[in-house]
Structure 1
């Protein structure tokens, strides 16, 4: 088992080394690395600045979206478990979510007009 995995590892390593040696992308040139604008030198940088506030809002949305996906199975579990245990777990989970939302609000991460 170990011998076979070692042989596979060595073959894949060998193929990667051969591919990087033969590759045509190893040649670096100023003209090839610069962005193309109808044959002229570019006036501005090819990279646009990205708003950090937008990124933060997107990450917060993603976190709360995953939390919603964790809340949905609680509805199906409600029929199969003790109602007091279910309510305790649900309220505890919602309490943690509300604390996180309050913390984000308190830090100013939800302010759009900065």
Structure 2
């Protein structure tokens, strides 16, 4: 195996992790929602699959104090994203009832896209 082959595999591994974590979380969310109701399914929908996969991916690229530093930066960004996610979910619960699922969801996602940078630049 050449160095280039190893770099390709290393570069793809974090993507595969995100796919596996994310896909599993989506399937689990749907199964739980179907079996126990949408509220409990929503708890599983909020599973931080991308975050966990990103941290696991970082461990493939960094070591020691550099890994800790990059993980801390990622975690701070995740806090911003999760805060915006909470606001998006609250907005969606209102906007979907008021405007229907297509328009309500679109407006909620637009709200998230505006709010996340505002939170980021306010906190950092």
Greater C-alpha Rg: 1
Whether these two folds match at TM > 0.5 is no
| Pairwise TM-score range, normalised by the shorter structure | 0.3 to 0.5
Q: Which has the higher contact order (CA 8 A, sep 6+)?
A: 1
Please, what TM-score do these two structures have when normalized by structure 2?
A: 0.34
Indicate the structure with greater helix content. Answer: 2
